[in-house]
Structure 1
């Protein structure tokens, strides 16, 4: 299956993503902060990045902009994960360079559908 980088600072959210994605057969890379996620993405070239928006220090959208500006990582799809999903947010996240977004709380079927969709592109 796919190699997926999860950048998430909340342990409960990280555990949930791990359980769902490992059960679906994906290989996971984990980072609790954006700067570590960027380094892992550059070194490991994952097939997909799940990026929490609200991270300590550099937020997920800043990290996404850096990833999309780097020739090494610009082709990796990024799905933003946010607790602050409101109407108009999709355009905001797409304009920030994200290839999609998911609202928290994470829903099993929505997560798997978004992952499969992003990997097909």
Structure 2
């Protein structure tokens, strides 16, 4: 697994200043049949990540971009997906908060679409 961190990390924010967190680039990672809990992936890019048959609980994926990733059979509970982009991802049987999202998502084929359009 390759992990590259970009950005700067500051100490405590002064009044009116926002803490800048690093973004993360994760490539070619295999987390198949894994369990993750309370992980902050916000504003990260995950490329060719294999999370099929995994369980993810109370994690933050806000603003994430997923490219060529596999979520087939994964179950996400209590996770935030605001602003997430799925590009060319396998989402068959993806379950989010008890809903089979893979059956609901219709991702278009092509450069902005998914494998299972």
Q: What TM-score comes out, normalization by structure 2 length?
A: 0.30
Higher helix fraction (1 or 2): 1
Does 1 or 2 have the higher relative contact order (CA < 8 Å, sep 6+)? 1
